[in-house]
Structure 1
């Protein structure tokens, strides 16, 4: 018996299944997209370049760390591109992963040996990709010319780096605040073995480069005394200088220190509040020099987050799945210090303390309300609660509910009013800890009150084009919005406001505000005013009711549509799919239009307004087509290589879509408690929800050759529905699916007409 036990134990050690953390590839999406969809449909070059950086740290970390291949805080240029061949340093970054905004308040640390070089391009070092190690909690690389092995790991607000110099020549470490405006500051304290500094933050979109009112602060400590030190501005190196401050003339600047010995450890604390806040964050999160301890803490944080879902399937599918889950947990980021301090939102110059919650920032809400925030509602209700409460605090401090808050400021970067969607979805799904009455006050203000103050409107406060939306029940083509990044796009705005009004109606109804609910429900039908019943497609319309001519529903650059075609946006009516079916002429026409989109190559998965489209077939009793096509999208639009995303990640939305879809269901209409069932990739998916409960999806006989659901059982009973409820998942249970190579058109009843309301 002892020999049998030994053999079993030995086998388990040799063939133990890898943990979710080990499957994460942080490089997916960091190279130019290799998918056909991106090549065909991309409107912006950023969607083809890859906008992902390998973010090292913890879930939702204030500051993550990445190898830097580009010295920039410019719009649409991330600090890392996979195809770049040289590393300029290691950056503490606030890049909104997969976006086209800008990094801000960042700093870069670069070790090098021999001649002192401060220019990022000149000091850059090549490296061997095969020797590089990258995971969510740890990064390691050997810099060839610099002759240094670099390692880094991080907590939420602090990090520790380890540099092993491989030469006895002069060894340096450079510190650079990456201010494109040349306004950074560094100060060396040799007696403390410390460098402190900050990098002022600037705005784009609404703001045009104006100061955001706060900085990225850093306190950097070394475990060895300095042999020498100095500062630089541009290429002007000043030995023994202890301070350098930018004059706003877009000059690069920084500090450097020289060391004896071959191993140096560096600790960094960061903050958006103050240098003292950065120091306290460092003392709280990394109080000693134990690199392995910090690495273990970071690993534990990721193991906990990624372990909320366990899957059984192929190794490559696990890489896709867990990398996507990782990418969906990077933003919004924690913005408050360890003691809760954070700078006031927008023009509020006060400092606040988050009590009982963490304050978050950087919301890609036009994208993330669709799947990222619903995923948090399922897996991380406390984090979701904190994120929503942070939006409420922003509204209190700024006077309006923000629409697309970045850099702790208002912006009108994108269209819609989707803080309403995010908060509404959390509230409808029972997320606790949100001051919903205060939230409703500002959501209602956004929906009903036209901002008549030109200055604050230009800054991004209030819905764009609300006056004409309320007057005509759609936004006419005559109404351009010059005070926004997207300046026309009237049909897309109308469709998105109609959806937001629907979600707010659900909140109003639950709060007992009947009059508001009735008005908002009526407004949720405004989609009917911009879908031409003659063509069955969304179409631009003038104030007098005329439809725009000429009209091509498949044109990708129609002025009245946001980042897509009229045909794609026609299906943006998640709040009333049955009503949409009626408008376009019934189920047969509806399915035909969907088929045309996919079969003729007009579907563009790489942009978010398309994300729910494949899940609409069940509403027309054609669930099998969703099963077929969603599996095809997964295989064609995602892969485990560095070019494995078909568009901008946009704060995790593309990845959150993949997480839901590989698991087998998707939240078509956030703000309702429903998920449409697709075609799970895995033989088994186990989702851990609150209270220690588990929701399990078993797909018997599953494979890419068997993507169709022949029959289903839920907790042992026949289950004919093509949807799940949030309550079913949170209570736990087992959904068993019998998969088949042939479709079963009889399976998959849609939500009853009106149930999504």
Structure 2
């Protein structure tokens, strides 16, 4: 069985006022992010503070049981359990929520109690919730005013208690629950109070990332009057206990007059050991000035969010854009300590070279499509840091190319080995790196069918021998075949960079295997069996030829969506389906078919326009495919519609899981007016810009200005384009052009110019060629 996101995890937010933009982000940016966008519905984001790509992702936890609370937070909940130091943003599986801190008053409660009845445990109702990049505050019903901020590896808390007794509970057993309800999946944990009052500890967790470890070092600005420890079974340990070990551990810091002065907490974490957490704390917490930390965090975000400044559009559109740009810079997350150490995917402690860093939370099945391409454009230095890390971790992993690594563990979630795509993309875009160092591991995954395997890469031997993954041998076979083919396409360029030309040729040829699961007679992706026959009782809305929910022929998709998975050989697909007119008609049918799904469809297939599902990744490039058939005006209309219908300035404002920023990055690109259909091609297909003007920093002091004078909701069509003042007839533009800086000017209209981009010579490149 292939492990997918669904199978691993079968408050009314008060005061959702937008924060004022930091000084560096005001002016033409026009809006600050609304960090509550995506915290409702199925967005799975969280509103707590972090730094761009930071290790600590601090924030409030409201629930650990529902799928819609994968991040630990959902805006419909009415109580907060406490504040933990790690979260996942927009994922389809829950994990993390490490080192929960609960500031409260009254009798000590050791369990949170049910969400439905907050009075039973240490949960607290709340009001006055406020979030902005790098800062969060809320008023708890106990009277505690809570504030949070962060440095890269340290979470900072400031709690103002009313006069009188109060306490701070540190719950090391808190995590995303699994069946049976509420059972912690922790096999070892420890807490220890040092002579200087520092609380240290760690645990090993078996949830999604099986066996991941987290350690922490926590200091309080005010010494408590006493500390009590609780071991397994919530047994209070004898007075004077300074160390406890077990699985379900807690510590309580008691204050006889908690309100005498604010209680500040600074807590560093490490995925390596307690020593790493201590070193992180010593490096990033040299004072007790909470407001200084907050100002620094705001300044960091102002710089990152200032990479793109927009004018025009509606206030809501500008807020959505700012929030999307924020969410696109939350993950991947920093993994290495200040000394460069991190847990390697080989189970060993590794060390990043001086000046480099290791990262985690690579949601690669999602983010290779738009998030990594966005960073290559607006944050090339960050993209360089990530590609260096991807190459290094690829070489270290026993499985080769990364799939979905989390905290030093390869979860193997989803299909393919898409870690090769951002590496190949970076190579195509000229980012310097040691690409050859990744090739031996990529070659092993590509050609050694006896190598250590994960569920994500099953059926590679069939794929190589038959040219496809047979539906009667391996589940999700249709999607696997096409996604393996795309990874072959990306890997071929890395083979060429390593001087392995014969391997490159073999991979390029094999990247055409997508044809073997597209039945040209009916025009759809279709399950195919080992004997070469097709599934006869075919219905494109179905998930596969077998009724069992764990055996599907597509990955989080059906026949409609999987028919357009091809990203790298679109002219080959057009020819396979009968030419431009038939391909265009098939796209029309995708967007106009009845939006019906079978009963066993996963919730990921969301945001339907016809059978196109914007709420999930497999066909998010499909609206842009019209340009390859010479009808870019249809791309323009559809992209503008999706921007309007699939994103809102509301907690339920992202139509599906944000998936570590992929959904948000899609919106950023769409709003700018172009999109990387195939990141490895290093080209962007034009759509319909949302704003009248955008200024994009593209590195090395260069700026890309995008103009669309008079643009509005009734002018979705691009009738002409100029690049640096010269007419531009193509419906696409290369990455190398945009990163030179300059002015890209769109002339917008109410009606389409069907001649623009129609000529074969003006269509986007695919598979290294145009149809001209």
Match of 2:76 in 1: 83
1:514 Cα deviation from its structure 2 partner: 2.6
Match of residue 602 from structure 2: none
Q: Give, in angstroms, the shift of residue 267 of structure 1.
A: 1.0
- Asked if 2 retains the 8 angstrom alpha-carbon contact of 1:367 and 1:608, the reply is yes
Give the match for residue 272 of structure 1. Answer: 271
Q: How much has 1:55 moved relative to structure 2?
A: 3.5
Give 1:182 deviation, angstroms. 4.3
The one-character-per-residue Cα deviations of 1:709-757 (angstroms, maximum 9, x if unpaired) are 1111111111111111010111011111110000111112312575458
Helix, strand or coil for the counterpart of 2:58?
A: strand
The whole-number CA distance in structure 2 between the counterparts of 1:646 and 1:753 is 29
Change (3 A) 1:517 1:397: closer
Change (3 A) 1:677 1:241: farther
Counterpart residue number, 1:201: 205
> In the alignment, which of 542, 565, 570 is matched to residue 572 of structure 1?
565
Q: Distance in 2 between matches of 1:143 and 1:18?
A: 34
| 1:20 CA displacement | 5.0
Q: Does 1:471 align with 2:465?
A: yes
SS, match of residue 597 in structure 1: helix
Contact persistence 1:186–1:255 (CA under 8 A)? no
Aligned mates of 1:693, 1:468 — CA distance in 2: 48
Give the 3 Å change call, closer, same or farther, for CA 239–661 of structure 1 in structure 2.
farther
Alignment equivalent of 2:132, drawn from 121, 132, 135: 135
Match of 1:719 in 2: 728
Q: 1:222 aligns with which of 215, 220, 223?
A: 220
Aligned to 2:168: 173
Where does residue 485 of structure 1 map in the other structure? Answer: none
DSSP 3-state at the match of 2:615: coil
Unaligned runs of 5+ in 2: 1-21, 114-120, 176-183, 546-551, 594-609
Say whether the 8 Å CA contact 1:104–1:202 is kept in structure 2.
Answer: no
Q: Is the 8 A contact 2:568 2:766 kept in 1?
A: no
> What residue in structure 1 maps to residue 315 of structure 2?
315
Instruction: Determine helix, strand or coil for the equivalent of 2:158.
Output: strand
Partners of 1:566 and 1:132 in 2: CA distance: 44
**Secondary structure of the equivalent of 2:410?**
coil
CA distance in 2, matches of 1:489, 1:219: 44
Q: Which residue in the other structure is 1:609 paired with? A: 618
- After TM superposition, list the pairs within 5 Å mapping 1:329-728 onto structure 2: 329-348=329-348, 350-399=349-398, 400-432=400-432, 434-452=433-451, 456-458=452-454, 463-480=457-474, 488-556=475-543, 559-600=552-593, 601-728=610-737
User: Hey, what's the Cα distance between the residues in 1 that align with 2:126 and 2:98?
Assistant: 23
Residue 113 (structure 1) aligned to one of 99, 105, 126: 105
Q: What's 2:191 paired with?
A: 187
Do the aligned residues in 2 keep the contact of 1:200 with 1:216 (CA within 8 Å)? yes
Q: Is the 8 A contact 2:683 2:765 kept in 1?
A: no
Alignment gaps of 5+ in structure 1: 1-12, 33-47, 481-487
Separation in 2 of the partners of 1:706 and 1:393? 47
- Corresponding residue number in structure 1 for 2:246: 247
Distance 1:351 1:255 in 2: 35
CA distance in 2, matches of 1:743, 1:444: 47
Deviates more, 1:80-89 or 1:257-266: 257-266
8 A contact 1:246–1:253 mirrored in 2: no
CA contact (8 A) 1:684 1:697 kept: yes
C-alpha distance after superposition, 1:509-553 (max 9, x if no partner): 344433222222111111111100110111011122111120012
CA displacement at 1:422 relative to structure 2: 1.5
Cα RMSD (Å): 2.3
When residues 489 and 423 of structure 1 are mapped into structure 2, their CA distance, relative to the original with a 3 A threshold, is same
Give SS of 1:671's match. helix
Instruction: Using the TM superposition, give the Cα deviation of residue 105 of structure 1 relative to its aligned residue in structure 2, in angstroms.
Output: 6.7
Instruction: Give the whole-Å Cα distance in 1 for the aligned partners of 2:575 and 2:507.
Output: 21
The structure-2 alpha-carbon separation of the partners of 1:417 and 1:726, relative to structure 1 and needing over 3 Å to count, comes to same
Give the superposition deviation at 1:264.
Answer: 0.9
Once the 2 structures are TM-superposed, how far is the Cα of residue 160 of structure 1 from its aligned partner? 1.4
Alignment of 1:2-41 (within 5 A): 17=26, 23-32=32-41
Over 3 Å counting, the alpha-carbon distance change for 1:235 and 1:509 in structure 2 is closer
2:305 corresponds to which residue?
306
> In the alignment, which residue of structure 1 is the partner of 2:180?
none
Q: CA deviation at 1:216?
A: 1.1
Count of aligned pairs: 701
CA displacement at 1:408 relative to structure 2: 1.2
- Distance of aligned partners of 1:704 and 1:372 in 2 relative to their CA distance in 1, 3 Å threshold: same
Cα-to-partner distance string for 1:325-352 (whole Å, 9 max, x where unaligned) = 111111111100112121232333x342
- TM-score after normalising by structure 1: 0.89
Deviation at 1:479, TM superposition (A): 2.0
Structure 1 pair 752–152 and aligned structure 2 pair: CA distance change class (3 A): closer
Following superposition, the deviation at residue 171 of structure 1 comes to 1.0
Cα contact 2:365–2:415 (8 A) shared by 1: yes
Whole-Å separation in 2 of the counterparts to 1:242 and 1:325: 47
Residue 122 (structure 2) aligns with: 123
Give the whole-Å Cα distance in 2 for the aligned partners of 1:367 and 1:88: 30
The answer for the alignment partner of 2:49 in structure 1 is 56
Report the CA distance shift for 1:259/1:383 in structure 2 as closer, same or farther (over 3 A): farther
Q: Distance in 1 between matches of 2:513 and 2:131?
A: 48
DSSP 3-state at the match of 2:489: helix
The 1-side partners of 2:507 and 2:275 are apart by 47
CA separation of 1:756 and 1:423: change in aligned 2, threshold 3 A: farther
Question: Cα 1:75–1:366, aligned 2, differ >3 Å: closer, same or farther?
Answer: same
- Provide the secondary structure at the position in 2 that maps to 1:153: strand
1:164 pairs with 2:157:
no
Does the 8 Å contact 2:129/2:138 carry over to 1?
Answer: yes
Equivalent residue of 1:598, what SS?
A: helix
Contact 1:231 1:241 survives alignment (8 Å): no
Change (3 A) 1:650 1:436: same
Asked if the contact 1:71/1:88 (under 8 Å) is kept, the reply is no
Tell me the equivalent position of 1:258.
255
When the two structures are superposed, what TM-score results if normalisation uses the length of structure 2? Answer: 0.87
